[in-house]
Structure formats: C-alpha cells, structure tokens
Amino acid sequence: MLTPFQILAADGSVTQPDLLPPLDQVESIYRKMVRLRHFDDRLMVLYKQSKMGTYPQFGGQEASQLGATLALSQGDYLAPMYRNTGAALAFGWSPKQAILYWRGHPAGWKIPDELNMLPIIIDIASQFPHAAGAATALKLRGLPQVVLSFIGEGGTSQGDFHVGVNWASAMRAPAVFVIENNGYAISVPRALQSGADYLFKRAEGYGIPGHLVDGNDVFAVHHIAKEAVERARRGEGPSLIEHLTYRLRPHTTGDDPKAYRSDAETQEWAEHRDPLLRVRLLLTAQGHWDDQHEAELRKEAEEEFNAALAEADATPAPDPHALLEYAMASPTPALRAQGKILEQRIRLLEAQA
Ligand SMILES: Cc1ncc(C[n+]2csc(CCOP(=O)(O)OP(=O)(O)O)c2C)c(N)n1
C-alpha cells in the first residue's frame, strides 16, 4: 500500500504543518465546502419533490473538486464531466445556472462567455481528448492558460482516457488530468476496473509526472494541483493525479447504492473520513470554530441556495417547440423526422390540457 500525499489527516491532525495555509484561509475553504455540500444535498431533495431532473451528486468529493479547481487562475479552462458540479461551482458557475442545467432548461446550457468552461460531458472519458485539444490550442497560440479536467476511475478504462493523456503528453500541452477514484463506477468496484494497484502509475507510461493524493484532504489536493498547474504553465506539459476519495451519495438521484455496497462501508467514510469533517475538527481544535459558527454558516448556505432557487424558479419555462433546436446547427433528415413527432406530441398534450 502506498501512502497518499496528505497535509490534514482524517482526524483533523496536521501531518505537514509547513504546508497548511493560514487559519483564515482554512476557514474560507471550509465555508466553500459547506456551501457545496449544501447545494448538492438540496438538489437531491428537489429531485425527490419532482423539481429536479436526474442529478449525479458529488457529495464526499468536495475536497477533490474544490481543492483542484482553486489551483486555477483567472482565464484558465475547466473541462468537466457530470460528477463535477462541485468543480464547476468552485470555478464560478452560478448556483442558479447549475439548477437550471440539471433541470434540463436551455437557459442553464449556455455557459457564460466570461467562464472558460467546456460543456459538461456525460459520455464517459471524452472530456480528456477535449481537454488535450484545448490545451494544445492554447500552446499553439502561445497563450498562458492551463486546462484542468477530471475523470472517474471507471473512465480510465475507456480509450479516450489514453487518447487524451497521450496526446497532451506528446504535445507537452498545458493540461492537468485528475482521476477522482471514488471507489465505484456505478456498481463496479475499483478492484474490477483494472489489474493495476494504482491508476496514477500510468503516468510513467506517458512520460509525465503522476501523483497519489488523499482526495479527501482539500489542502493536499490543492498543493499538488497547484504544482501541476504551475508546471503546465511553464510549458513542461501535463500531469496525472489520482485522488483517493469516496462517493458518499448514490451514483445519481436514480440509483440505490444498497444494491452494491454495504451501509457499514459508507458509514465508515461518512463518520471518519468525510472531507468536511476534518477541516471542521482542525478549526475547532484551533479555537477558531464552534457550533454557533457552524449553525450560522449553514443558515447562510441555506439562504444563498434559496435565493438561487427562487431565481431559477422565476425563469420562464422553455419553449417545447425548441427542444431539438440545440442538437445540430443544420438539422439532419432524422432530426427533422423527430421534429415532426415532437410537434404531434405537443399538439396532443395541448389538446389534453
Ligand atoms: C461512453 C459511456 N459508456 C457508458 C456510460 C454509462 N455510465 C454512466 S456513469 C458510468 C460509470 C462511470 O464511473 P466513473 O468513471 O468511475 O465515474 P463516477 O460516476 O464514479 O464519478 C457509466 C458506465 C456513459 N455515460 N458513457
């Protein structure tokens, strides 16, 4: 067993004090993590109220997504997958837009012009070739930005993982590739995903640095991601980072994890290895945090979420006739045929209303 890079242990003790940021920064990061957790859990509640579409929760992976994304600078790029709503929010995507996006509302699909975020990818692993391509374009244009992309450990079994990392390595493109090893690809456990003991070791085959990080330690994640981002920005090429983490929530709102993992396992991670808990323990031990602070923060998070939700609710419903307009710049015959079926169904629904 290898020891992953760590700064803050699960029990709130500091294993590398020199690398811990000052307490006010620790608090600021904790505040962000609590907001992310709150957002994620509220979307599940909305789903249960039939006010949200299928949503892939990131709960448990806040440290992994926030810590890495905060290593980026203004103008850098994020190439996210469906699990990365936390990273996207940390990157500057607004909660209102994220709510609209996961509701399937076209107003949520448009990425704000000022945000260098690629579209959220559902098709496993294709975000890696996109990230490699964007990073290559930045390099060819002599621009100083970096591209950060995430993938699940299941995604590393797809060909596109290799295509993306190999291309970026060959081009020395400014990309940072993060594997969020959260233990499961839906129901498939990590052990069945690959014969390799650690996925970051593949970096050697690409001739790039590889890192193994405690993905539930936000400071360790941030430290290593920052090094990788700086390296990429210096023109020295990509890095591959494996975050050891755990998906505390179901695969998506539609999944029942009891079918493939034990409650005891999830409880162990929730009670002893939660990425938020260790930061709270540290702040508390330093006399910097108490139950009152926690209650106030949670109230703030709730109020902020409710404000975003109210804005999302106030957004006019999309025009059903426009459903297929976003698929292709010029419709194919198949899309035109689907358009006819869509119009028939809309007329039927209108007649029933
Ligand atoms: C190309 C492709 N094949 C299959 C799927 C169906 N699918 C959705 S999620 C998933 C598992 C992905 O697991 P992992 O990469 O570990 O990411 P995680 O969901 O754990 O974040 C699969 C197979 C898909 N979306 N895309």
- Name the packing angle between helices 62-69 and 218-233 (round to 10°): 30
Distance from residue 162's CA to the centre of ligand 1 (Å): 16
What count of residues does the chain have? Answer: 353
> Which residues, at least 6 apart from 36, have a Cβ–Cβ distance to it below 8 Å?
58, 62, 65, 66, 86, 89, 90
pLDDT computed for residue 311 by the predictor: 98
pLDDT computed for residue 321 by the predictor: 87
Indicate whether 326 pLDDT > 90: no
Indicate whether 323 pLDDT > 90: no
**For the residues 126-135, what does the mean pLDDT come to?**
98
Indicate whether 353 pLDDT > 90: no
- The best mutation among 124, 178, 246 to test binding of ligand 1, ranked by most ligand atoms within 8 Å of the C-beta, falls on 124
**Residue nearest atom 17 in ligand 1 by C-alpha distance:** 152
Q: What is the pLDDT of residues 227-239, one digit of tens each?
A: 999 999 999 999 9
Percent of the chain scoring above 90 in pLDDT: 95
**pLDDT category, 102, cuts 50, 70, 90?**
very high
CA distances from 144 to 74, 150, 166, 168 (A): 11, 20, 21, 16
Indicate whether 328 pLDDT > 90: no
pLDDT computed for residue 62 by the predictor: 98
pLDDT computed for residue 336 by the predictor: 94
Cβ–ligand 1 contact at 182 (below 6 Å): yes
pLDDT computed for residue 322 by the predictor: 86
Average model confidence (pLDDT) across the chain: 97
Ligand 1 atom nearest the C-alpha of 61 is: 21
Reduced to 3 states, what is the DSSP secondary structure of residue 290? Answer: coil
Distance from residue 82's CA to the centre of ligand 1 (Å): 9
Cβ–ligand 1 contact at 160 (below 6 Å): no
Residue of 32, 39, 43, 149 whose CA lies nearest to 102: 43
Pairing status of strand 184-185 against strand 175-181: unpaired
Residue 239's beta-bridge partner residues?
A: 176
Q: How far apart are CA 75 and CA 148, in angstroms?
A: 12
- The best mutation among 160, 179, 186, 246 to test binding of ligand 1, ranked by most ligand atoms within 8 Å of the C-beta, falls on 186
Q: How far apart are CA 56 and CA 80, in angstroms?
A: 13
Ligand 1 atom nearest the C-alpha of 158 is: 1
Lowest mean pLDDT among 105-114, 116-125, 142-151, 224-233: 105-114
Ligand 1 atom nearest the C-alpha of 126 is: 1
Tokens of residue 24, six digits: 């006010």
Distance from residue 155's CA to the centre of ligand 1 (Å): 6
Q: What is the pLDDT of residues 274-290, one digit of tens each?
A: 999 999 999 999 999 99
Q: What is the pLDDT of residues 5-24, one digit of tens each?
A: 999 999 999 999 999 999 99
Residue of 29, 89, 69 whose CA lies nearest to 280: 29
The type of residue at 201 is K
Distance from residue 307's CA to the centre of ligand 1 (Å): 32
Q: How far apart are CA 19 and CA 119, in angstroms?
A: 34
Residue of 338, 298, 306 whose CA lies nearest to 321: 338
Listed in sequence order, the DSSP H helices in the chain are 23-48, 62-69, 85-91, 95-102, 106-109, 127-140, 159-171, 202-206, 218-233, 263-272, 275-285, 291-314, 333-352
Percent of the chain scoring above 70 in pLDDT: 100
Tokens of residue 317, six digits: 């419903």
Beta carbons of 169 and 131 less than 8 angstroms apart: no
Distance from residue 277's CA to the centre of ligand 1 (Å): 28
User: Active-site residues: which are they?
Assistant: 247, 251, 260
